[in-house]
């Protein structure tokens, strides 16, 4: 009934005592365990599920790189959206000006109570589901800010000082779609929709099957094991002659990939920029497969068609369609000139293949001349990565290599997410599992799992040395 208070569904931190389930589940005998929240199997009529997001910013850096709590829950909505066909969460952000109420508008907010009633003692969040027959009409999601402190992260549950809003959000949004707790209906399945928060941090097959039974499956719905991918990369460094050229490397896998590589200098808003960069693309054997000095001279029309041509005529660009393999882009100054340059690789074919590794080698110094690398994680899934900062290992092939390295990982707002000096000090880093442990103790590494967005890696010497350094970002998604 419109306007009535709906069915509350909550999620608790601690395991409940074993439930005695008297009635046999209606779904007994099925291979899936999902259950519906209303006896009418109510669902949103679609195509939009309008939601007002009122979680706002966080006063701290969220562990997964989310810039705000809003971003964390919006990512959770995107993860559900990519699985279902006939309805999609459609949200707008607003500041929270009053408590959530049964007013016909679905909000997601931090609350100290549930429509004026106290939260249960161990309750992390509640969704009040209101339906009118077979139609869902309002599903307010309320996170219990009276008892808990929230963060956003992946992996095993942390201490009670950091509740993961992202996985709790996935669960509550499942209620919003019309799903209930399988484990409370005599179903034993792995599911985000079970009534207790757990080490599960992403949607499980049963969760997705439940939502798709209500809304149909999207034709391009990815497998639940899919993760994010590395998309665009960029690195800014001072370019000189000989070993001081800028070398951007990348490995493509699992299919043909179209990339646009740009070498920028004149358009950078910096003093000391490289006035006239040139660019070469090499294959794994070092053979030059494409070269460019000034982008308008060779592939002008095709590069303009990408909508991201360089802005200076003296900058270089190569548009290439590449088979799986290892490639390097070499940026140097025309006629041996030096200055600060930026190399970028854009992934223009997100549907095929993936970029499994990106790296940049160049001269690292101090101040403005540290190496600044950027990468973009395309979503909506999260990305696991390992970042390495190499120096001494480059010797003796590169005699002017750095003697030591340190790394910083910053999110899209420039806020420090992780740093390392000496990889043996890095937490949760299993380099050996990925064949990446051939490093000296003076080199650095960071393990990360991050939400979609822009990230920056800064490589420098912790002892203010200068020399050639190499920063690498590995996609270590399953």
φ, ψ (nearest 5 deg) of residue 237: -160, 160
Among 9, 229, 236, 449, binds Zn ion (CB under 5 A): 9
Least distance (Å) between residue 16 CB and Zn ion: 11
Q: Which does 368 bind (CB under 5 to 8 A by kind): Zn ion, Ca ion, none?
A: none
Residue 61 vs 275, nearer CB to Ca ion = 275
Compare residues 10 and 472 and give the one whose CB is closer to Zn ion.
Answer: 10
64 binds, among Ca ion, Zn ion, none (CB under 5 to 8 A by kind): none
Residues 27/33, Cβ–Cβ less than 8 Å: yes
Choices 11-19, 317-325, 352-360, 462-470 (CB under 5 A): range interacting with Zn ion: 11-19
Nearer to Ca ion, 145 or 436 (CB): 145
For residue 354, the cross-strand partners are 253
Site for Zn ion in 351-410 (CB under 5 A): none
**Cβ burial, residue 306 (10 Å; 0-12/13-18/19+):** middle
- Residue found by looking up tokens 């810039």 in the block: 67
List the one residue from 6, 8, 11, 179 that touches Zn ion (CB under 5 A): 11
Do 27 and 185 meet the contact criterion of CB atoms below 8 Å apart?
A: yes
Instruction: Let me know if 14 is exposed, middle or buried by CB neighbors in 10 A (0-12, 13-18, 19+).
Output: exposed
In the β-sheet with 123-132, what is the strand arrangement from edge to edge?
7-12, 123-132, 135-144, 107-111, 48-53, 88-93
Nearest-approach distance from CB 173 to Ca ion, in angstroms: 15
Smaller CB separation from Zn ion, 120 or 222: 120
Shortest distance, position 111 Cβ to Ca ion, whole Å = 11
How far apart are CB 445 and Ca ion at their closest, in Å?
A: 35
Stretch in the footprint of Zn ion (CB under 5 A) among 2-10, 12-20, 432-440, 447-455: 2-10
Distance CA 44, CA 87 (A): 7
Instruction: Pick one of Ca ion, Zn ion, none as the site partner of residue 9 (Cβ within 5 to 8 A by kind).
Output: Zn ion
Structure tokens at 156: 């095993």
Give the one entry of Ca ion, Zn ion, none that residue 314 binds, where binding means its C-beta sits below a cut-off of 5 to 8 angstroms depending on kind: Ca ion
The CA-atom distances, in angstroms, between 386 and each of 92, 201, 407, 475 are: 34, 20, 12, 7
Token reading at 86:
């006939």
d(CA 92, CA 101): 18
Least distance from C-beta 118 to Zn ion, angstroms?
Answer: 17
Minimum separation from the CB atom of position 326 to Ca ion (A): 25
Shortest Cβ distance from residue 146 to Ca ion (Å)?
Answer: 19
Q: Which residues bind Ca ion (CB under 5 A)?
A: 103, 105, 140, 276, 293-294, 314
The minimum distance between CB 266 and Ca ion, in angstroms, equals 9
Residue 269 tokens read as 């808003």
Q: Which of 166, 3, 198, 195 is nearest to 71 (CA)?
A: 166
Count of residues making up the chain: 478
Choose the one of Ca ion, Zn ion, none that binds residue 11, judging by a C-beta under 5 to 8 angstroms depending on kind: Zn ion
Task: Please report whether residue 185 would count as binding Zn ion according to CB under 5 A.
Answer: no
Is the CB of 217 or the CB of 275 nearer to Ca ion?
A: 275
Q: Distance between CA 70 and CA 171 in Å, rounded?
A: 16
Nearer to Ca ion, 10 or 140 (CB): 140
CB 455 within 8 A of CB 368: no
| Residues binding Zn ion (CB under 5 A) | 9, 11
């Amino acid at each position: 009934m419109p306007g009535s208070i709906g069915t509350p569904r909550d999620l608790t931190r601690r395991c409940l005592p074993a439930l005695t389930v008297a009635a046999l589940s209606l779904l007994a005998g099925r291979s899936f365990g999902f259950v519906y929240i209303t006896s009418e199997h109510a669902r949103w009529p679609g195509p939009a599920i309008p939601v007002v997001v009122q979680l706002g910013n966080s006063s701290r850096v969220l562990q997964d790189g989310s810039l705000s709590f809003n971003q964390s829950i919006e990512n959770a909505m995107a993860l559900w959206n990519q699985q279902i066909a006939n309805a999609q969460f459609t949200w707008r952000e607003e500041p929270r000006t009053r408590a959530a109420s049964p007013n016909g508008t679905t909000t997601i907010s931090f609350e100290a109570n549930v429509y004026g009633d106290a939260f249960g003692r161990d309750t992390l969040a509640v969704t009040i589901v209101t339906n009118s027959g077979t139609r869902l009409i309002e599903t307010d999601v309320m996170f219990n800010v009276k008892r808990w402190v929230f963060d956003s992260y992946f992996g095993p549950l942390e201490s009670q000082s950091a509740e993961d809003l992202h996985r709790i959000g996935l669960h509550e949004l499942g209620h919003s779609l019309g799903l209930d707790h399988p484990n409370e209906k005599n179903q034993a399945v792995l599911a985000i929709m079970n009534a207790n928060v757990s080490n599960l941090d992403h949607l499980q097959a049963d969760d997705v099957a439940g939502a798709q039974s209500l809304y149909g499956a999207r034709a391009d719905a990815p497998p639940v094991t899919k993760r994010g991918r590395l998309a665009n990369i960029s690195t800014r460094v001072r370019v000189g002659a000989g070993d001081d050229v800028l070398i951007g490397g990348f490995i493509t896998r699992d299919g043909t990939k179209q990339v646009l590589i740009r070498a920028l200098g004149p358009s950078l808003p910096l003093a000391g920029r490289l006035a006239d960069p040139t660019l070469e693309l090499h294959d794994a054997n070092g053979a030059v497969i494409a070269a460019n000095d000034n982008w308008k001279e060779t592939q002008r029309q095709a590069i303009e068609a990408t909508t991201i041509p360089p802005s200076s005529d003296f900058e270089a660009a190569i548009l290439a369609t590449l088979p799986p393999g290892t490639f390097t882009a070499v940026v140097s100054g025309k006629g041996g000139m030096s200055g600060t340059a930026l190399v970028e690789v854009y992934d223009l074919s997100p549907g095929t293949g993936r970029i499994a590794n990106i790296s940049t080698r160049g001269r690292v110094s101090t101040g403005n001349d540290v190496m600044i690398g950027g990468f973009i994680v395309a979503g909506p899934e999260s990305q696991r990565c390992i970042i390495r900062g190499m120096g001494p290992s480059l010797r003796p092939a590169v005699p002017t290599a750095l003697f030591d390295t340190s790394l910083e990982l910053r999110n899209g707002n420039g806020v420090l997410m992780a740093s390392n000096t000496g990889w043996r000090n890095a937490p949760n880093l299993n380099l050996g599992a990925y064949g990446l442990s051939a490093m000296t103790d003076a080199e650095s590494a960071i393990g990360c799992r991050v939400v979609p967005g822009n990230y920056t890696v800064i490589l420098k010497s912790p002892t203010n040395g200068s020399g050639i350094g190499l920063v690498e970002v590995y996609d270590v998604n399953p």
